[in-house]
């Protein structure tokens, strides 16, 4: 394959654009300049580190090391889900709900694809397992975070309505049904939009990367379709699970609304 290698100077030129955007945000008083630069630095450091880790994994294929890296990716994704919510569940629930939902969904879909669809030997070959799991977790993380954030925010804002419906004799799942459904829709909307726009408005990242690396376009397309279907199903399963379990946790065993279970609820 004809791969054009990028130098440090090439990347530095691209970084100038980041600095230009950060500078404009300062001039416009958007208060995003510092965050923009920090995010760019994190991207650079994190990708360089994962590049070194993957280089070692490719040279020393072992299920234990791959499992360790996958676990670390999951734990960090769980932390990001929690950080993206304005009103999250307190205690273990704030971290565990999103993490467990992503674990069940992303890992099961990825393993299924590796074993049944790709069928590589060994099935945990890091060349396939780590990039696929990374794309699964990245997109599932967004869906779960959006869904849970909408759930808790809406429950807080509509607490009077929910309690009135409970007083009128509705069960907890009826009182919060519309909020739960809307939260699931919000969580799944980004991947639905991504699938609808793929190939016409945008060329997805994996497909673009493979084409730039010299892969035949149709082969890149087939892999991208596989990934999009995996991401959509994984995001859907995880979002529906997280929102459903989270909605139940908003109520106690006597079906009373318990917003004190949300972080910062006492402060209004």
pLDDT 10s digits, 200-246: 777 777 788 888 777 788 888 888 898 889 999 999 999 999 999 99
Instruction: Answer yes or no: do 8 and 121 share one domain.
Output: no
Domain limit, last residue, from 12, 34, 60: 60
Domain that holds residue 13: 1-60
Name residue, tokens 């892969």.
Answer: 215
pLDDT tens readout for residues 70-106? 999 999 999 999 988 888 898 889 899 999 999 999 9
Q: Are the C-beta atoms of residues 179 and 186 closer than 8 Å to each other?
A: no
Q: Are the C-beta atoms of residues 176 and 250 closer than 8 Å to each other?
A: yes
pLDDT at 205: 76
Q: Please determine, for residue 253, whether its predicted confidence score (pLDDT) is greater than 80.
A: yes
Cβ contacts of 250 within 8 Å, gap of 6 or more: 151, 152, 155, 172, 176, 257, 258, 259, 261
Domain limit, last residue, from 18, 33, 60: 60
Cα 36 versus chain centre, distance: 20
Instruction: Answer yes or no: do 85 and 56 share one domain.
Output: no
DSSP for 20-64, written as a single string: HHHHHHHHTT-S-HHHHHHHHHHHHHHHHHHHHHHHHHHHS--HH
Instruction: Answer yes or no: do 7 and 126 share one domain.
Output: no
List the structure tokens of 250. Answer: 């908003």
Mean residue pLDDT of the chain comes to: 89
Instruction: Answer yes or no: do 41 and 67 share one domain.
Output: no
Task: Indicate the angle between helix axes 126-157 and 159-167, nearest 10 degrees.
Answer: 70
Cβ contacts of 74 within 8 Å, gap of 6 or more: 99, 102, 103, 106, 107, 137
Instruction: Answer yes or no: do 7 and 33 share one domain.
Output: yes
Cβ contacts of 190 within 8 Å, gap of 6 or more: 139, 142, 143, 146
Put simply, whether the predicted model's pTM sits higher than 0.75 gets the answer yes
Instruction: Answer yes or no: do 72 and 14 share one domain.
Output: no
Instruction: Answer yes or no: do 185 and 167 share one domain.
Output: yes
Instruction: Answer yes or no: do 75 and 201 share one domain.
Output: yes
Instruction: Answer yes or no: do 166 and 217 share one domain.
Output: yes
Strand partners, 198: 202
Q: How many domains does the chain have?
A: 2
Instruction: Answer yes or no: do 20 and 136 share one domain.
Output: no
Domain limit, last residue, from 44, 60, 76: 60
Instruction: Answer yes or no: do 35 and 16 share one domain.
Output: yes
Instruction: Answer yes or no: do 2 and 51 share one domain.
Output: yes
Identify the CA nearest to 241 among candidates 252, 230, 253, 249.
Answer: 249
């Amino acid at each position: 394959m004809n791969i054009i290698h990028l130098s440090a100077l090439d990347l530095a030129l691209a970084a100038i654009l980041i600095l230009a955007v950060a500078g404009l945000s300062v001039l416009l008083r958007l208060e995003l300049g510092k965050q923009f630069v920090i995010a760019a630095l994190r991207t650079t450091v994190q990708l360089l580190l994962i590049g070194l880790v993957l280089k070692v994994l490719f040279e020393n294929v072992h299920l234990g090391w791959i499992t360790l890296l996958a676990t670390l990716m999951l734990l960090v994704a769980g932390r990001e889900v929690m950080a993206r919510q304005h009103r999250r569940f307190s205690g273990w629930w704030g971290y565990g709900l999103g993490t467990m939902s992503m674990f069940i969904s992303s890992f099961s879909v990825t393993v299924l694809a590796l074993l049944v669809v790709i069928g590589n030997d060994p099935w945990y070959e890091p060349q396939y397992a780590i990039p696929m799991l990374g794309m699964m977790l990245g997109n599932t993380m967004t869906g779960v975070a959006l869904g849970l954030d909408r759930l808790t925010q809406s429950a807080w804002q509509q607490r009077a309505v929910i309690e009135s419906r409970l007083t009128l004799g509705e069960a907890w799942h009826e009182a919060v049904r519309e909020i739960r459904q809307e939260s699931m829709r919000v969580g799944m909307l980004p991947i639905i939009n991504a699938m609808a726009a793929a190939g016409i408005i945008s060329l997805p990242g994996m497909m673009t990367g493979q084409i730039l690396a010299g892969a035949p376009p149709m082969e890149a397309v087939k892999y991208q379709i596989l990934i999009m279907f995996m991401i959509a199903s994984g995001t859907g399963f995880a979002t529906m699970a997280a929102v459903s379990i989270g909605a139940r946790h908003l109520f106690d065993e006597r079906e009373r609304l318990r917003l004190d279970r949300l972080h910062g609820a006492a402060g209004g």
